Structure 1
Amino acid sequence: MSFGPEHKPKPPRLPPRWFIRTAWYAHRGILRIFRGRVGLWPPRGTKWGTLRLTTVGRRTGRQRGVIVAYFEDGDNLVTLAMNGWGEGEPAWWLNLLARPDATAELVGGRKLVRARAASGDERARLWELWRASDDHLDAHAARRPSETAVVVLEPRPTE
């Protein structure tokens, strides 16, 4: 079957927002119940890993934890501020824009990090890294009204 030039492929389906949010809460609960022994994993090949990122709330000043997918780029950790491909920026990214110092909890321990948005050639290179793990990355990103930030978490010295 061939399609004419007017055919536009449908974007890949995403689960309903309530399901995505429930999965986030369940993942955090598993991590809490098993005290970090289950729920985090390192990236392997083109498969991303997960880390627990602790930021400081931009309004409350309280610590806030979230689990995000990541890849390693040398000593840096790289994630996407995608908010489940929904509208708006994720709260953790807004927190990092206000206060870029954070803690990343990985399978092998904790790292003190400083966040920044990748730009230019670096952003394009890191976007390709993510694209290798998700054939639908561009289609999912097109759902968002603004460009998805590629967040680089650089190691910072211990305090």
Structure 2
Amino acid sequence: MPTPTPKTDLPPRWLIRTIWRGHRLLVRVTGGRLGLYPPVAGKRMGMMRVHAIGRTSGRPRPVVLGYFEDGENLATLAMNGWAPTDPAWWRNLKAHPDVRVDLGLRRRRVHARAAEADERARLWVGFTDHPGWGDVDAFAAAKRPLGTTVVVLEPR
């Protein structure tokens, strides 16, 4: 008998993608003055823009991502919504890990890498410990059977 998946109240994928596009447009049009903000511990993740480089095209591929701070590092999840595949931006960062991020009007040069073992487990708690997220572990396991990479962006 198949394992039941946790019930979710996610809107349809077309709506999620429309909101993502609108958010990305807002950040681009305002030069990051709107739509990018720092995290608030225990309340919300921050929003940053990562200037990834296409792994085959070599062209800029900016993406807006949620993050939280881990000392000097920034941590984010390599998720394509809740789809089971890795997002294109993570594949791009694996090919070209040295990039720039925008944190509001501040810019930072970083090196991207996947968190390993104990570090991943510690950082994962930072993402699952947010009000209203419910049982993220069970939901992520059901939706993303290959697991979710925790991406660390280290200053360079």
TM-aligned CA deviation for residue 76 of structure 1: 0.1
Letter in 2 for 1:136: D
How many residue pairs end up in the alignment?
150
Task: Report matched runs for 1:71-86 at 5 Å.
Answer: 71-86=68-83
**1:93 and 2:106 correspond:** no
How big is the alpha-carbon RMSD for the aligned residues of Structure 1 and Structure 2? 1.6
Query: Which residue number corresponds to residue 3 of structure 1?
Result: none
Letter in 2 for 1:43: P
Q: 1:42 aligns with which of 38, 41, 48?
A: 38
SS in 1 for 2:127: helix
Return the alpha-carbon distance in structure 1 between the equivalents of residues 14 and 26 of structure 2.
18
Letter in 1 for 2:153: L
Unpaired segments of 5 or more residues in structure 2?
none
Q: Name the stretch that deviates more: 112-121 or 9-18.
A: 9-18
Return the alpha-carbon distance in structure 1 between the equivalents of residues 47 and 19 of structure 2.
14
Letter in 2 for 1:71: F
Letter in 2 for 1:149: T
TM-aligned CA deviation for residue 31 of structure 1: 1.0
Letter in 1 for 2:100: T
TM-aligned CA deviation for residue 11 of structure 1: 2.6
TM-score by length of structure 2 reads 0.90
Question: Quick one: percent identity of the two aligned structures?
Answer: 52
Query: Which residue number corresponds to residue 33 of structure 1?
Result: 29
Letter in 2 for 1:154: E
Does the 8 Å CA contact 2:6/2:139 hold for their aligned counterparts? no
Letter in 1 for 2:40: R
Query: Which residue number corresponds to residue 152 of structure 1?
Result: 152
SS in 2 for 1:138: helix
TM-aligned CA deviation for residue 130 of structure 1: 0.8
1:3-45 deviation digits (Å, cap 9, x = unpaired):
xxxxx67332322111111111000111122221101010001
**1:102 and 2:111 correspond:** no
Unpaired segments of 5 or more residues in structure 1?
1-7
Return the alpha-carbon distance in structure 2 between the equivalents of residues 149 and 66 of structure 1.
17
TM-aligned CA deviation for residue 108 of structure 1: 4.5
Query: Which residue number corresponds to residue 15 of structure 1?
Result: 11
